Structure 1
Amino acid sequence: MAEPIIVLEPGERLLWSGLPQRIALTGLEWFRLVFGSVMVAGFAAAAGLPVPDGEFPVVTVVLAVIGLAVVGGPVLWRLRTTRRAVYAVTDQRVVVADRVSGRTRRSEYLSDLEPPFVGLGQDGAGTLTLTRRDASTNLLGVSVPVRGAPAPIELFVPEADGLCALIVQAQTAD
């Protein structure tokens, strides 16, 4: 366990740290890329101005490039920021920081989080999702997200079950 470039608060003890593993596109991101690319290509072809024979269709290409940037930009940004992350779990908090700059991106106290949810992949690596207690409300037995609440923290780690048990243990120790 390597000491991350994260400033610990007074009295805080590091329990675990790690880097993201096997970052994959989500189903919604795949849909966005495929459907968006088809739509952008169709719109660019339909909006392309007629060009004289032998000339390059500049307007069509520009529209296609701008459209693909709009469709794929957010997906590529999430992949980039996730690859640059470093995770830390202390006896008080869960911290996600930028590995290059050392800047803390997200930090939540364990007492403010619901028990983690683990989604395991076929290779044993998993996604650990940590949601704030005030980020959802229970409506007739169904958890409904609260508008404007912070997004859950997702940790892409190889030992998701073990980390989940560690977080639950730290939460019950409070």
Structure 2
Amino acid sequence: MRPAGGRYRAPVAVDLLPGEQVLWQGAPVRRTPFLRTDSRWLWFHLKFDLGLLVLVAVVVVPLALWWDDDLTFLWPLVTAWVAMDVLRVAEPFIWRYLTLPRTTYYVTDQRVVAVRGRRVRTTQLGSIDELSAAVAPDGSGHVKIDRRISPDGFLQATVAELIHVPDAREVVMLLSTLTGQQASYVD
């Protein structure tokens, strides 16, 4: 298989278990770190931050004014809070941007494997608790297989989702057949 980047990938870059067979292999078709489902997460984050900002304004500012009329000591705290919040929002996108070009996905008859550089993460087919996909008009999509793990399984040893899969419906149908679970499709 020759990915969009033009480099040839070895047929199997993962150690297979005894008797295990690769049923599907693919690499992300897009290098963008954004998914269609990210807009919901960003909207929630924006509302959460707005609520937190209102809470801080209602509680902290009156206390600070009562303590001292000079609020200049709050600026470094607010700046640090905003910087940490921006990093928290940007982290999944930065992580995807850095790892997607080096990613290859495998579906075997026993597990789902994601290889990113030298890092290998696996999920046994019996451990899949959610099987859903968001499919784009070109057939590529985002396949989610674990609802318990943070997006993209950042710092996790398991595979939580397959991002920008070239033939998402085929992968979902294969996983549905292997696990016996009904797949759902997200808008």
TM-score by length of 1: 0.60
The one-letter amino acid paired with 1:90 is T
Alpha-carbon separation, structure 2, partners of 1:26 and 1:35: 14
* CA gap 1:168/1:6 in 2 versus in 1, 3 angstroms: same
Alpha-carbon separation, structure 2, partners of 1:59 and 1:5: 52
1:75 pairs with one of 81, 89, 95: 89
1:18 pairs with one of 23, 27, 45: 27
1:155 aligned onto 2:169: no
1:88 aligned onto 2:106: yes
Q: What RMSD, in angstroms, separates the aligned Cα atoms of the two structures? A: 3.8
1:65 pairs with one of 75, 79, 87: 79
Does structure 2 conserve the Cα–Cα contact (< 8 Å) formed by 1:20 and 1:155?
no
- Map of 1:34-73 to 2, 5 A cutoff? 35-36=48-49, 39-40=52-53, 43=56, 46=61, 50=70, 59-60=74-75, 62-73=76-87
Alpha-carbon separation, structure 2, partners of 1:129 and 1:170: 15
Could you tell me the percent identity over the aligned residues? 24
User: 5+ residue gaps in structure 1?
Assistant: 52-56, 136-149
User: 5+ residue gaps in structure 2?
Assistant: 2-8, 149-156, 181-187
- Moved >6 Å (runs of 4+): none
1:110 pairs with one of 125, 128, 139: 125
Aligned-partner SS, 1:29: helix
TM-score by length of 2: 0.57
**For 1:67-96, what per-residue CA distance to the aligned partner results, in whole angstroms no more than 9, with x for missing partners?**
123323333222233331522222221122
Does structure 1 conserve the Cα–Cα contact (< 8 Å) formed by 2:122 and 2:159?
no
Does structure 2 conserve the Cα–Cα contact (< 8 Å) formed by 1:127 and 1:154?
yes
Shift of 1:10: 3.1
* CA gap 1:10/1:76 in 2 versus in 1, 3 angstroms: farther
Aligned length: 147
* CA gap 1:169/1:34 in 2 versus in 1, 3 angstroms: same
